[in-house]
Structure 1
């Protein structure tokens, strides 16, 4: 049975700690014996009491406290969101607005102070703005966004006791953080863009199942396949951990026109027949395999599309299916292929299709490139 210390006289243990520190040159066994004797003496004196530990009960107590803490923070965050929406709704647009003043995180602030909630000096009286290098402050949209959010510090201050740092990341690129702190002075490039951070993309997009069907027939040889590889790399990189994806090439080989999945993500064979979570490792392995693709043989587009439908129909929950076809333009525009796409979008196979894309990779049809 486990025991735990229920009550402790801190002064006594402080003295013991000093004794242990001075005994650092002695053997470990001597220190342990001394420690046991010290604890026993404290127990005999009544300074320390012991009680039986009840693991399951303790875990439930801790879980309850954590749940209460997270619920409190979630409620505070929801209140911030509601107040921010109200502030944005009542902000009057000014077509003549320009040369606005704002507090930048990169500017020196002499009023920064250390606080027990934070590991760095902060200024709890105001928020600060970070602008990536490619975001132009004198752009009318950016100026209005920065201007109306400058009136929201009172909203942030209300949550001082519940929330630590509060981040407002605009879809236009700037980032407002409360409380203000000193941005690292060695950040000369100012390349951070919150819109590309995982915590932003993960919670601003709908979780999705994505199947990439890659035409690797002989007609895709050369620049077309290179463009496919580059486009696919960017598409995969923009998936987040809430997404599941698969990459399939077709044909599998000369004798098998049906697609085959590309994976190097797991030693578990069951992985080869399923969509996988878009973790960093899975995405990296998929991208590596994409750049090993070789254009050869002929393609059967009916086989490829029905392969995708069959794979997506195995999803246990209702799937939002994004079909990204990286294929030859002539095949994509054929009557049979267009009819097949219409059948898919009409949802005749029991799969909810959010959108259906084809990447046209030859010059005459470049206007259709995603």
Structure 2
């Protein structure tokens, strides 16, 4: 009793001393979102400068390089490095290539001093074109290293050659697939395709006459699918089949162009597989229909408003088609026509070639399935010619993607990112008029790093920031869940990077927010929102204010949400560094306060070491969030008396409730305090964090669920929280981390503090439960002194989201629920619990099976 009384008295005086240093500041949402956008613009601008330096260096290197058909040059092939033959000698294109683990690059083994080369299996790695390109691009090594020194936040930098090789910095050892081959081809990647060409309108016209039966139709279908794979969100497309008549593969898209997003492309692929051959091929009707669609789109200002092309896939053309081009395309030849002759026969090769050459297109002969990929890619080089001739070095940004194909290693986790890329053209005078594309340079930007610039602690417990593309698709959003579980593996969802903003912010029924952000406008919007937590199992009713603006020089818009009652003001306290330092323990920090990854000299520092070195002036070059640091130090001082209280309980058995296992608290700054009262051998829950609890810690992009839900309760009140566990067997375990908006200590309320206590032993006289689902529990009496439960009634049995586990080994049943101070009836979807009188604890109801 004395220890507890003394602690309350000391706490009261501590808060009185600190109170004058506390102040509240109103958050200006419009200014804050603009500030975030400016910081993001600066970060993305540095990436663009790095890419520009790479493009300039590559073009200069090519300018002074003379092609040598007999060139012999050994380079580091990422498939062969550090490999030896049976005699222990380095194999050709291998050699010693030092690698060491690097934290900045996902703990992969890399070489930060130079790049290496990846060549697809279907490309000869000593082809003269490959050797000359690799030799020429050696000049990029110094630029890679210099870029990384100027901007240590850079990740992968690369050059994808039009010849097919891929130069990557830092260098890595490339791992083949289970068949020993590398199918990765940089020319098929979205960043390459978007940088190599401008937005385009494409009509794919395929011959399905009787002569196309068998392998020819299979090759034609594969060609269509490959063309579709080269399209992106900024492109528009339609697919027409012809025989005796014109047939739209999707009748709903008749006479129009549709955006070539992932959903539409996959839809076309499914329909193309159903095509059947019959009749006679009459290409004239199909070509007329295609020109009408493209001309109408151009006149109405629809489509991409840029390149237009028709892709003709056929085994021959026998009709008189010249009048079609005279009527619709000559003399301007505004629409390019690319032709693909299918099959081994070349009887109609001259005719099909004439169509392409007289309409500023390109002719290719596709005789086998293996020819498809290489031949389809040729059209991209043709469409890039105007950009080369006009010296248009447009920088492109891709949609969000997960590049799991790039690094096939256990150390590589799927990482959502965007890429910035830029085309590289030949500047030689003798070839300038031909418009030769040398390749594409680029770098990846992890979206997690970008979103660090809009930290959650500045936005309140329910606030968040999100990024949108100019097509309305989400780039980053806390509700975006790009993965699904298949067995024990996590895999990306098929449409994870084409989720529309309207599908997440679904309260925006008239799409006012989406439309404004797509247009790149700046403004505000207020909405009543039903926010879901716990993977959609629970709902909170909030009033959200949305603030949005564009990020200059990019196709992205930034949105920000502040919830009324939580994001309108920010709480600021000020304590001395010395006092705050003495109150912080290593395990209490859960957020990133200092960027230790930027400078190699700082990478071995823990967050605690970095914080103290920065605050004491020993490392002034460290980039730290000083506001967050000050808030954390203040929280540390305010909550420090809890350590003395918990210690006093442990030292005084008479003041300690039997069975208390663990207590912890958390604050808005990410500070957490934890006290364990018993050893692991005595705990009911052997692990401190159960599967569902692992998400209930503070991270840079979200507050824990228990913290968010508790924030909606009045100060001083508590609620029961019984989440469904992530279990793998038939038995389930009922777990309940507590939630509260505040803990009342001698009349002083500390906002955002939660105390949780695990209780390992409870005496139960009557428990009516077996291996069933529990929907209602009524507890009549609880004695805190001995945590004694006299009666437990299970009045109703339903199938719901709350489960009970019977542990077979010990034949004991563990039912864990949170026990807090008295409150009114609390409802959680399927579960209703009457409150239990006590401190905020978790009790375990142990019973013989």
Equivalent of 1:306 in 280, 288, 305:
288
| Deviation readout 1:252-283 (Å, 9 max, x if unpaired) | xx9xx5x343239xxxx6x5553122233322
| Deviation readout 1:47-99 (Å, 9 max, x if unpaired) | 66432222221111111111122222212211221122112222355554325
Would the aligned equivalents of 1:216 and 1:294 in 2 still touch at CA under 8 Å? yes
Of 74-83 and 360-369, the range deviating more from structure 2: 360-369
Partner residue, 1:24 = none
Task: Check 1:177–1:325 CA distance in 2 against 1; reply closer, same or farther (3 A cut).
Answer: closer
Cα separation, 1, equivalents of 2:114 and 2:343: 50
TM-score of the two chains, using structure 1 as the length reference: 0.71
Partner residue, 1:234 = 226
Answering whether residue 330 of structure 2 is matched by residue 339 of structure 1, we say: no
Q: Secondary structure at the match of 2:120?
A: coil
Partner residue, 2:129 = 141
Cα separation, 2, equivalents of 1:361 and 1:100: 38
Partner residue, 2:235 = 243
Of 297-306 and 240-249, the range deviating more from structure 2: 297-306
Would the aligned equivalents of 1:249 and 1:261 in 2 still touch at CA under 8 Å? yes
Answering whether residue 268 of structure 2 is matched by residue 277 of structure 1, we say: no
Cα separation, 2, equivalents of 1:60 and 1:304: 51
Equivalent runs, 1:1-370 vs 2, <5 Å: 41=15, 44-45=18-19, 49-102=23-76, 104=78, 107-108=81-82, 109-116=97-104, 119-160=107-148, 161-162=150-151, 163-184=154-175, 188-216=180-208, 219-220=210-211, 222-223=213-214, 225=217, 228-250=220-242, 259-263=246-250, 272-296=254-278, 303-315=285-297, 316=301, 318-326=305-313, 329=316, 332-335=317-320, 337-346=321-330, 352-355=334-337, 357=339, 359=341, 363=345, 365=347, 367=349, 368=352, 369=365
Would the aligned equivalents of 1:121 and 1:181 in 2 still touch at CA under 8 Å? yes
Task: Check 1:93–1:48 CA distance in 2 against 1; reply closer, same or farther (3 A cut).
Answer: farther
Cα separation, 2, equivalents of 1:140 and 1:209: 35
Task: Check 1:49–1:115 CA distance in 2 against 1; reply closer, same or farther (3 A cut).
Answer: farther
Cα separation, 1, equivalents of 2:55 and 2:114: 18
Deviation (angstroms), 1:342: 3.4
Would the aligned equivalents of 1:347 and 1:353 in 2 still touch at CA under 8 Å? no
Of 147-156 and 222-231, the range deviating more from structure 2: 222-231
Of 98-107 and 236-245, the range deviating more from structure 2: 98-107
> How many corresponding residue pairs?
317
Of 337-346 and 164-173, the range deviating more from structure 2: 337-346
Cα separation, 2, equivalents of 1:303 and 1:94: 48
Would the aligned equivalents of 1:125 and 1:179 in 2 still touch at CA under 8 Å? yes
Deviation (angstroms), 1:286: 1.0
Q: Secondary structure at the match of 2:237?
A: strand
Cα separation, 2, equivalents of 1:107 and 1:152: 19
Deviation (angstroms), 1:235: 3.1
Cα separation, 1, equivalents of 2:308 and 2:59: 31
Cα separation, 2, equivalents of 1:237 and 1:229: 12
Would the aligned equivalents of 2:144 and 2:157 in 1 still touch at CA under 8 Å? yes
| Structure (1/2) with the larger strand percentage | 2
Q: Secondary structure at the match of 1:352?
A: coil
Deviation (angstroms), 1:114: 2.2
| Deviation readout 1:85-138 (Å, 9 max, x if unpaired) | 112222355554325243636524544242547653432211122222233333
Larger radius of gyration: 2
Q: Secondary structure at the match of 2:131?
A: helix
Unaligned runs of 5+ in 1: 1-36
> Which has the higher relative contact order, 1 or 2, with Cα contacts under 8 A spaced 6 or more apart?
1
Cα separation, 2, equivalents of 1:178 and 1:362: 41
Deviation (angstroms), 1:366: 5.5
Would the aligned equivalents of 1:312 and 1:319 in 2 still touch at CA under 8 Å? no
Cα separation, 2, equivalents of 1:152 and 1:360: 40
Task: Check 1:119–1:59 CA distance in 2 against 1; reply closer, same or farther (3 A cut).
Answer: farther
Unaligned runs of 5+ in 2: 1-10, 83-96, 353-364, 367-849
Would the aligned equivalents of 1:244 and 1:276 in 2 still touch at CA under 8 Å? yes
| Deviation readout 1:216-255 (Å, 9 max, x if unpaired) | 56x557346555434433333333443211012347xx9x
Would the aligned equivalents of 1:319 and 1:352 in 2 still touch at CA under 8 Å? no
Deviation (angstroms), 1:157: 1.6
Q: CA RMSD in A?
A: 3.6
Cα separation, 2, equivalents of 1:43 and 1:273: 75
| Deviation readout 1:140-188 (Å, 9 max, x if unpaired) | 2222222232343211122113333211111222211112234347673
